[in-house]
Amino acid sequence: MGNDEAADADSGKEQGIKLFRFGEYEEAALRFGEAYALYVDLNDEKGQGETLNNLGVVHIQEGRWDQAAEAFDKAREIFEALGDKNGEAHTLGHQGTLYRHRGDKERAVEHLKAAADLFREVGGRKKEATTLRLISRIRLGQARWFEALHFYDLSLACAEPPGVKERILRRLMQVPLNMLARPQ
DSSP labels for 31-81?
A: HHHHHHHHHHHHT-HHHHHHHHHHHHHHHHHHT-HHHHHHHHHHHHHHHHH
Give the per-residue pLDDT at 122: 95
Task: For residues 42 and 124, give the distance between their C-alpha atoms in angstroms, rounded to a whole number.
Answer: 29
- Domain check: are 96 and 135 in the same one? yes
Sorting pLDDT into bands at 50, 70 and 90, what band is 162? low
How many angstroms from the chain centroid is the CA of residue 167?
A: 26
pLDDT above 90 as % of the chain: 74
Q: Where in the sequence is the domain holding 58, given as residue range(s)?
A: 1-83
CATH of the domain at 123: 1.25.40.10
Give the per-residue pLDDT at 117: 97
- Domain check: are 183 and 108 in the same one? yes
- Which one has a higher pLDDT value, 180 or 98? 98
Sorting pLDDT into bands at 50, 70 and 90, what band is 158? confident
Domain count, the chain: 2
The model carries a pTM of 0.85
Q: Is 24 helix (H, G, I), strand (E, B) or coil?
A: coil
pLDDT above 70 as % of the chain: 87
Are 85 and 47 a contacting pair, CB within 8 Å?
no
Residue 115, amino acid:
A
